[in-house]
Amino acid sequence: MFLKQAFQLASPGGSKAHLSILIFHRVLPVPDPLFPDEPDVARFEQIARWLKEWFNVLPLNEAVLRLQRCNLPPRAAAITFDDGYADNLTCAHPILRKHGLPATFFIATGFLDGGRMWNDTIIESVRGAALPEIDGAFLGLGALPLNSIADKRSALAKIIPAVKHLPVEQRSEAVARITEYCQATLPNDLMLSTQQLQQLRAEGAGIGAHTVSHPILAKLDEIVAKREIADSRDHLEGILGERVGLFAYPNGRLGTDYSPAHASIVKSLGFDAAVATNWGTCSKASDIFQLPRFTPWDARRWRFGLRLLMNIRQHDAALTTGASATEQGSHTFGVGSAPRPAQEAPAAKNQQDHPSDALPMISVVIPCYNAERWLGATLRSVLAQDWPRLEIIVVDDGSSDRSAELVRTQFPGVTLVQQKNSGVAVARNNGIANAKGDWIAFVDADDIWLPGKLHAQWQAFTLQPGGRMAYTAWHVWPCTNPEPEAALLKDLAQRSTDASLWDGPTGWIYPDLLEDCCVWTSTVLMHRSLFDEIGIFDEKLRIGEDYDLWLRASQVTPIVRIPKPLALYRMHPDSITKKAPDTNYQALVIVRAIDQWGYNSPDGQHAAKRKVDLALARTWRDFAGAHLAVGNLERARHGSLMSLRSDWRQLRGWKLACRSILRSLSQNAPSK
């Protein structure tokens, strides 16, 4: 009842209505161990019950028409499926009919009647491979083990993103090479047949076009892209004997998979509306040729519902009429509606794959305390990013040097926020509060970003949808000079091509984070909605406030790692990390996380208690060693004993305990 009331408040009817469009691809007969997040019939039955309880679910064509007319009911939603899998009819459709939920199915027509999408060819090849490993060197991946389900899942997580955005011919060659290498028997019944499609429509389902071969439209010539869109619609109309008025962009991320130019093509071809995969909900201001879609991935009712509720609050300015390349007119919608206009509107001019008005604003938050010597180099590295919509915020944390004056005089385009000295957590939170962007990036005032960092992270989000946080590999840089040396940058550029050197945890990484803080703050890019969901930096933590936030984030979103060093972690005499803290904040953060969430991540992965104990022991050893170095023997002794309490088998802990105790005894010994 609470969630239904919350949706009623968040999505009232009429002119203030929000339309939530959910996107699915498959509903499996039984769970797939290779893709445990893909819903099976039991899971989808559960989702269907929730949607029926919370929403007024409408056919998509009716929902879009009512959106334009400002007469949507409260809690309006629509359900869509992409690609045209056979299980849409055999598994999903019976559940939808049982609950009286209409849905629209977008069909890639080139795979009807025994076809198979390129990604499924890779998946089934790897699934059926009876090999110890696959050679992924031709994709820059090296040898990938295939000895277990976990190995195969890991291999697919690397292969599919590497192949996805290749030019069409290269992608086909890569798929053929993998197929030949694996020598597996491949299924030919994954996709709908023509007869099954006709049955789906006859039983009331809506049908939309999804191109012929499911290409990345942004990679195609405009003429070829237009043919892909038109031919798929014409094929469907021939099969169904009626008009098809809805379209879904393959992959569907604005700026990476398609551009506003493609939205103009869709409109010029006489479609009524089109859906993308950018997150958000539709309002009366939405461009009907770029409607956002979203589906939570959570298994629990409350998390699923709350994430849908949060999505209603999300506003995607890139998909509104004021930011699009299309104009809205008077339309009728969907299968079987009025005929297309005889005259086509002129298509928009070609645009780049990443038009500046299509990319979101990124706000870069830089906390600064007495960093005058390094800050200029940091700001220049941020300004050198090839990202057109950038807001830079320096939060001066009560510096006694000329850091604030440097920003005012040398970087007039940078926003300067000043506060009394309150610590880095307060400074970052102050920066977040002043940020205008939907995406927030962090970099400390003495660190360096390398070229292409932001674009690499954005690309990672498009290749691995569902994540709201990304980080990159980095290079530790002991230095005294503000600017990085040319020789260092050249060496990094040469070594960065080998992804295996920079690999690390990606996805649902909570277990990895418990064992080690594998995320570095100056590489992080995250969506603003995360702060609404999990809170901001804990201002009570003088150190470890970032580690604490990453652990919280890892409970609600996959965290994507880019295996390439795109930042320099500056080690210099003034580094805060070289000072001995009064409290072992890292251990405090780990223990607090275990108390709240235990050892499990949302996807069911489990951290080994033994490894977490070793991590706790390591933090206490570091704590003890830091205090031993500055002569604080009481804290050194306490830290070493806590380290042994976490793991009594480690030799270094015993050594530290002995050293701290012996030094204490020698200091307390009476002088002769």
The CATH topology of domain 2-115+189-319 is TIM Barrel (3.20.20)
Q: Are 638 and 615 in contact (CB under 8 A)?
A: no
What is the C-alpha to C-alpha distance for residues 106 and 276, in angstroms, rounded to an integer? Answer: 12
What is the C-alpha to C-alpha distance for residues 99 and 49, in angstroms, rounded to an integer? Answer: 7
Q: Are 337 and 242 in contact (CB under 8 A)?
A: no
Q: How far is CA 571 from the centre of its chain?
A: 30
Residue 657: predicted pLDDT? 64
Decide: helix, strand or coil at residue 105. strand
What is the C-alpha to C-alpha distance for residues 257 and 262, in angstroms, rounded to an integer? Answer: 10
Domain boundaries, the chain: 2-115+189-319, 118-182, 362-593, 609-668
Pull the structure tokens for residue 54. Answer: 């919370």
Task: State percent of the chain over pLDDT 90.
Answer: 51
Q: How far is CA 554 from CA 281, 454, 457, 513, in A?
A: 24, 21, 17, 8
Other Cβ atoms less than 10 A from the Cβ of 287: the count is: 25
What is the C-alpha to C-alpha distance for residues 548 and 537, in angstroms, rounded to an integer? Answer: 8
Q: Are 263 and 325 in contact (CB under 8 A)?
A: yes
What does the pLDDT look like over 183-217, one tens digit per residue? 999 999 999 999 999 999 999 999 999 999 999 89
Q: Rounded to a whole number, what is the largest CA-CA distance in the chain?
A: 108
* Residue 653 pLDDT grade (very low, low, confident, very high; cuts 50, 70, 90): low
The DSSP bridge pattern shows strands 362-368 and 469-478 to be unpaired
Q: How far is CA 177 from CA 135, 172, 563, 581, in A?
A: 10, 9, 24, 54
361: exposed, middle or buried (C-beta count within 10 Å: 0-12, 13-18, 19+)? Answer: middle
What does the pLDDT look like over 221-230, one tens digit per residue? 899 999 999 9
Task: Please tell me the class of the 362-593 domain.
Answer: alpha beta
What does the pLDDT look like over 49-81, one tens digit per residue? 999 999 999 999 999 999 999 999 999 999 999
Pull the structure tokens for residue 510. Answer: 């909570």
What does the pLDDT look like over 80-119, one tens digit per residue? 999 999 999 999 999 999 999 999 999 999 999 999 999 9
In degrees, rounded to 5, the angle at the alpha carbon of residue 381 between the alpha carbons of residues 375 and 386 is 150
The DSSP bridge pattern shows strands 469-478 and 415-419 to be unpaired
Residue 364: predicted pLDDT? 97
Evaluate if residue 659 carries a pLDDT over 80.
no
CB hemisphere CA count around 9 (13 angstroms): 7
Evaluate if residue 550 carries a pLDDT over 80.
yes
Residue 570: predicted pLDDT? 85
In degrees, rounded to 5, the angle at the alpha carbon of residue 259 between the alpha carbons of residues 257 and 260 is 150
Q: Are 366 and 445 in contact (CB under 8 A)?
A: yes
Evaluate if residue 555 carries a pLDDT over 60.
yes
238: exposed, middle or buried (C-beta count within 10 Å: 0-12, 13-18, 19+)? Answer: exposed
Evaluate if residue 356 carries a pLDDT over 60.
no
Q: How far is CA 605 from CA 30, 139, 448, 497, in A?
A: 20, 28, 34, 30
- Select from 230, 284, 285, 294 the least CA-distant residue to 262: 230
Evaluate if residue 316 carries a pLDDT over 50.
no
Other Cβ atoms less than 10 A from the Cβ of 497: the count is: 10
Q: Which of the pair, 312 or 468, is modelled with greater confidence?
A: 468
- Select from 333, 309, 280 the least CA-distant residue to 68: 333
Residue 664: predicted pLDDT? 62
Residue 1: predicted pLDDT? 62
Pull the structure tokens for residue 2. Answer: 């609470």
Residue 154: predicted pLDDT? 86
What does the pLDDT look like over 364-388, one tens digit per residue? 999 999 999 999 999 999 999 988 8
pTM over 0.85: no
Evaluate if residue 465 carries a pLDDT over 80.
no
- DSSP code for 347: P
Residue 253: predicted pLDDT? 85
How long is the chain? 672
Residue 139: predicted pLDDT? 83
What does the pLDDT look like over 594-616, one tens digit per residue? 888 898 888 788 888 888 888 78
